[in-house]
Structure 1
């Protein structure tokens, strides 16, 4: 009896241990996705460009990260205003303000009298980009607050920085030794595609510097194929060489080559969307966040603007050339043509104009030095947008579904305008061709040709329909890169290859050498064979002659 009871106890104990052990083993073998990193990050944002429109794209992401409890330090020329702080205090959002009252920022600085768009505008654009890069690097990196930051014992988990016209600010990545993300307020630059080994086949992907309409014809492909490598070489040997000198002075002589740091980007967040700029192959860490700056809600308009728009029963033309162009510098001949057309159309016009008064009063036109652009566009009586092709205003018009008249003048505006024209949502006018006739025709088509509105509405639906909002996507990628789990896996191995390996130059050369050697050997063998055959034939002939002589003697 005792033995039986002991056996039962022993059996129960063994069974219990087996069950527990099996459960433990299954738990151990089960895949676990556990975020072992801290939930609150220290993030450094580095934005050394003085263009407000660029920073306007990135600011919503920075504020949202702060709302999520992360500690944000932002180097820029655009600190949060007292009014913004009063509306939404964000104590974990810290500004390092680079603003110099003597210099200011890039607002209303483009003098249209000096603007002469031509086929060779690329050279002018490169010169402008280089001069802005020189100023940003020399002034921003030598600011006393930057010196103080570099001498401090601050530590960060991830860095966000703009990808544009200079790499000098990548020195912060080396200094703090943390992963980083590039943010682009526009289509990807050619040299960035090169750094990341992202596809930029010139046969069908138009470069940002040319206003090429898709699909590309032969001349477009020829132009594209020549300009893309030219831009990459110019950036490598003109831009980067100058940036390296300044960066070495600030961050130390042990700073690696800026290109090497640029190649280590964990992700690139781009302010574009394939519905507008076209579908193209992208690396998994090149993420489209087009419309990041577009707010989630529409704010009520001021009483005077609301009344003006509410009473415009025949529709309103919204006219704005963005934050950098100084409209009052429009050449007189073109300004007279614009005023004549706007004064004569049977519709109202709301116009961003930098001074208190127009050259002459027009009853159907309201001007303001500043306008809440997105809120105005969403008014139901706004029927057409007249702009310059800047990506912020154009993206907002696409989001709302407005047909457009676009007059590109510099930078990526040609590229953006061509993209909207390709989708059938915009009429484009060359600045050189801007006159009374061309503008009148464009305005008439924008209001009366229903195809533009229908195409704009279709484009709007495609632009909005995404698995997640641009802001949520950008936040997720920032936190993901900071966690570091997938950073090594998303980078293209092509980014680490020298150019001759990437383009298979070494393989092609070996194949040419081997093929040449084989052809040479083949012809030598043929020649040798022919020689042998000739010798054999000659020997046979000699033997036949000898036999013939012997027969005669006999």
Structure 2
């Protein structure tokens, strides 16, 4: 269910010189239809850096998201802004939640509408009809917006994917990276967490169901758009998907579970940390400096307003915070809280990175947004997760498995449980120690995340053909991929052993039965002679 929700969240949201040098400017078109600000935290620094390196960058985005970037040509698509409101006003949104196939159909409709809104936009159409427009690279969110891949073919450009959310099986398949789909959990809900035979079987069922959704629901809708706006046949979609050169993913092995990647999946988690943090005001700085017993920071992110949380949940949070000796910085747009005390500091806009970097901060209570999790890891701060939807469950589950966090169900929250969990996180030093270890690993890289993203972007510009970085699926027989060969060997041995035991047992039974029959015959003969 939550995997489907993740896709819903995401939906809401050239003639290349083959001898292009690092310093030679390229023309890049980025298509990012996100309707919330958090994904642009990854995109914005990358676009700025590419402009600074002399590249010509054009961005297709919703109106107002992100704010204007110096040196970037912005093509705004106002229709994308309206799509979110139309979805929220649609009763099918609530009805679909809980049923994977209904969620899939609704998500497919969203992806269709997003792709259609972009390709039919007047500004985009004028750009496509302008014969002087040339693009060397098309950057696009690596989701089910497959019709947008047609822009790469239209401009004879390199196709580069960006994933601002967590890794999914779909991204693996775009990169030709089939191996992790069964052996490694991508979602704590959809995938089992161990490598047992039963877990692999469950994961295979889950992946197969996802593939059916992709084949039967997502792709047909995108193929219709591919035909309508580009005139390409349905077969072209598979060809375009196989042309995805590099995918920049907002993840890193230090953030939790290590996974197997092919070379064209590039982990660049922390790109947004290249931007300077918002300054910490004097009043907040003093409040944290004077926290004798340490401080706790509570935030549900940029997109979740406190007024929309259940009143009982807010009440339980307040009751727990009032009983703490630690000072609490609470990101809350409500300036007045009932029973406000000296140990609770309420702010509408909190300089989160500066707060997390403060030496007196002991714990971060969060919804588990990806950027927030990264910032907690970067500063070595233990976490208490209260995930609500989309990728938040996966993000928090990863750091919980890594040993630097605990997770509670916000729908079943009470002050006593919350207080006990906070105290256990503060008193058990293993969480803080593990958080510091993860921070050291997260920061210890040969290049910064932004420099890594730039290098691989320009690598894709220099190398049109990246097939040498992709896994050739045709070279991996299905028997070998699912380890059916080893399972078959084991099965044959098991059948032989069981068959031998059954055969031996049957022979012993027959021998015993024959012996008893002869004894009865002898007894009968003896009794007749008497």
Q: Which interval holds the TM-score relative to the shorter structure?
A: 0.7 to 0.9
- Where in structure 2 are the equivalents of 1:31-430 lying within 5 Å? 39-77=24-62, 90-91=70-71, 93-99=72-78, 103=82, 126=104, 129-130=107-108, 132-153=110-131, 154-201=133-180, 204-208=183-187, 210=189, 214-215=193-194, 220-254=199-233, 257-295=236-274, 297-430=276-409
Q: Distance in 2 between matches of 1:180 and 1:311?
A: 52
What do the CA deviations read for 1:338-380 (whole angstroms, capped 9, x no partner)?
Answer: 1111122112222222333335533322223332322221122
Query: In the alignment, what sits opposite 1:525?
Result: none
Q: Distance in 2 between matches of 1:99 and 1:448?
A: 51
**Native 8 Å contact 2:62 2:81 kept in 1:** no
**Native 8 Å contact 2:79 2:117 kept in 1:** no
CA shift for structure 1 position 385 = 0.7
Q: What is the SS of the residue equivalent to 2:51?
A: helix
CA shift for structure 1 position 333 = 2.2
2:455 counterpart (463, 476, 484): 476
**Native 8 Å contact 2:326 2:343 kept in 1:** yes
TM-score by length of 2: 0.78
Relative distance call for 1:38 and 1:465 in structure 2 (3 A) is closer
**Native 8 Å contact 1:117 1:410 kept in 2:** no
Most deviating of 336-345 and 369-378: 369-378
CA shift for structure 1 position 41 = 1.0
Q: Which of these two proteins has the greater Rg computed from alpha carbons?
A: 1
Q: Distance in 1 between matches of 2:480 and 2:402?
A: 36
CA shift for structure 1 position 440 = 1.1
Q: Distance in 1 between matches of 2:321 and 2:395?
A: 25
**Native 8 Å contact 1:121 1:410 kept in 2:** no
Aligned length in residues: 461
Q: What is the SS of the residue equivalent to 1:266?
A: strand
Q: Distance in 1 between matches of 2:121 and 2:106?
A: 22
Relative distance call for 1:400 and 1:102 in structure 2 (3 A) is closer
**Native 8 Å contact 1:40 1:71 kept in 2:** yes
What do the CA deviations read for 1:159-191 (whole angstroms, capped 9, x no partner)?
Answer: 211112432321211221111111111332212
**Native 8 Å contact 2:386 2:408 kept in 1:** yes
Q: What is the SS of the residue equivalent to 1:240?
A: helix
- Where in structure 2 are the equivalents of 1:17-28 lying within 5 Å? none
Relative distance call for 1:248 and 1:308 in structure 2 (3 A) is farther
CA shift for structure 1 position 330 = 1.6
Q: What is the SS of the residue equivalent to 1:322?
A: coil
**Native 8 Å contact 2:330 2:345 kept in 1:** yes
**Native 8 Å contact 1:406 1:417 kept in 2:** yes
What do the CA deviations read for 1:241-291 (whole angstroms, capped 9, x no partner)?
Answer: 112223332333557543331221111111111122322221111111111
Relative distance call for 1:259 and 1:338 in structure 2 (3 A) is farther
Q: Distance in 1 between matches of 2:290 and 2:264?
A: 48
**Native 8 Å contact 1:209 1:411 kept in 2:** no
RMSD between aligned alpha carbons?
A: 3.4
Q: Distance in 1 between matches of 2:194 and 2:141?
A: 30
Q: What is the SS of the residue equivalent to 1:409?
A: coil
The unaligned stretches of length 5 or more in structure 1 are: 1-33, 513-554
Q: What is the SS of the residue equivalent to 2:35?
A: coil
Q: Distance in 1 between matches of 2:170 and 2:184?
A: 14
